[in-house]
Structure 1
């Protein structure tokens, strides 16, 4: 962290708490680009996918569709994340809740997170599954490229760890909006750091060891990117899962106002 952390005046009595909470993260900017490749870090579009690997499907054996992919060679080195390979996030394009399971957020029947340790020969585009465009219910369709900047941020007031806010600021509700404008007032696309929610952090009740945010994708109206009623989506793992490159029990959540 460089410089003094900016805080609303009402939060000054708890400055030590907020300064100690600061974490690094990778901020993602989404941009339209005419030259996005199959292996680029991006939202939507045609995915990289290797030969001789089954394409992910939903419970009805219909193909999932790419939400996002991270090419780690294009990103700053960060924490325990890989430095090479591609991590992909697929969701059910025929489901109005985008493949999320309300009862078990780690159930990947309607979504899939896949890590390709190395970039290999890929399927030709014409070999990839096709979709019934009239039935798709994706949160967006515009292929956009990701650009990355490493930053820091203090704790999100929506993050389950904020339940430990000092008493002297916990009820300063008028100052919360000012705090959000200072530190969470942009499209909150990011890797790592603290999560944001329009409703409740599911980790408040279980999954409390899922402290690593693999990816967060916010709504962004100028790109027609919309989770329900201007919501936000998050994918989490435990630190141990990330170190082991185990993405079989990723926690997926999205909510809206």
Structure 2
């Protein structure tokens, strides 16, 4: 069905001469389909957005400058990694994502890095406990829970990406590709994902975050090809009450090497909004 959709959209937007290139530069991703649900109905350790984090003993909600970071998502790596054709995700364990949701730093200065956190636990679900919200976490930043169902998906390069940089786009073809991307996202109604290409709103995401990751890791040999999207979370007021800027998206980006090595100390966040 998805292949049929892609072919139809390519034809509709008069991109047939570029079809082979567009498809060859696509990347698989793990689609995360959110469904709002009562927290009691979500088994401990399932992938989910919002709600209360399922943490092992010794893990706590991170704090920065006296502010508790909000719990955004947890990912069951054992399930998600089975859909990861790039072989980057850990094969077991759990990923936890936290963010300072009052000021909503957008990742445009190195000093903002402490205001998001990605934690990894390599144990099993029997070691997890549904943790109560910290007393100092404001109600408006205690998000509604939504279970995440993982599915294999396809993502396409942004028109300003390094992968498509050597195509000599005419204005008509460029507009057609942008319409193709928008039509594809709208048709599959994908809001959240692991891996693949980011759904760009403003600047090409990898280009935007590259200098910050280079500086943070003190390694200026890192290139765009070394980066991967870890997690993308769209504004989803319907399922979770999450609103990023003006109906925006938050992206967690890191190097592929760090992801393979389960090193989450240098994950960079970017927030883009309309």
TM-score, normalised by the number of residues in structure 1: 0.84
- Corresponding residue for residue 180 of structure 2: 179
Give the unaligned 5+ runs of structure 2.
211-223
- Corresponding residue for residue 196 of structure 1: 199
TM-fit CA distance, 1:169: 4.8
Alignment counterpart, residue 151 of structure 2, candidates 121, 145, 149 = 149
SS of the aligned residue for 2:206 comes to helix
Cα distance in 2 for partners of 1:124, 1:16 equals 47
TM-fit CA distance, 1:242: 0.9
- Corresponding residue for residue 250 of structure 1: 267
Aligned positions, number: 248
**Does residue 15 of structure 2 align to residue 11 of structure 1?**
yes
SS of the aligned residue for 2:150 comes to strand
Cα distance in 2 for partners of 1:184, 1:221 equals 18
Cα distance in 1 for partners of 2:94, 2:245 equals 27
Cα distance in 2 for partners of 1:250, 1:38 equals 25
- Corresponding residue for residue 253 of structure 2: 236
- Corresponding residue for residue 228 of structure 2: 212
Whether contact under 8 Å (1:194, 1:213) holds in the other structure is: yes
SS of the aligned residue for 2:71 comes to strand
Whether contact under 8 Å (1:29, 1:147) holds in the other structure is: yes
Cα distance in 2 for partners of 1:102, 1:178 equals 28
SS of the aligned residue for 2:54 comes to coil
- Corresponding residue for residue 92 of structure 2: 84
TM-fit CA distance, 1:25: 0.9
Cα distance in 2 for partners of 1:84, 1:239 equals 17
TM-fit CA distance, 1:203: 2.7
SS of the aligned residue for 1:73 comes to helix
TM-fit CA distance, 1:45: 0.9
1:119-138 mapped onto 2 (5 Å cutoff): 119=124, 121-122=127-128, 125=131, 129-133=134-138, 136=140, 138=141
Task: Decide whether aligned partners of structure 1 residues 153 and 143 sit closer, same or farther in structure 2, where only a CA change above 3 A counts.
Answer: same
Whether contact under 8 Å (2:75, 2:94) holds in the other structure is: yes
TM-fit CA distance, 1:129: 2.3
Whether contact under 8 Å (2:157, 2:164) holds in the other structure is: no
- Corresponding residue for residue 111 of structure 1: 116
Cα distance in 1 for partners of 2:34, 2:191 equals 11
- Corresponding residue for residue 46 of structure 1: 52
SS of the aligned residue for 1:10 comes to coil
TM-score, normalised by the number of residues in structure 2: 0.79
Task: Decide whether aligned partners of structure 1 residues 194 and 101 sit closer, same or farther in structure 2, where only a CA change above 3 A counts.
Answer: closer
Cα distance in 2 for partners of 1:165, 1:153 equals 19
> Which is richer in helix?
2
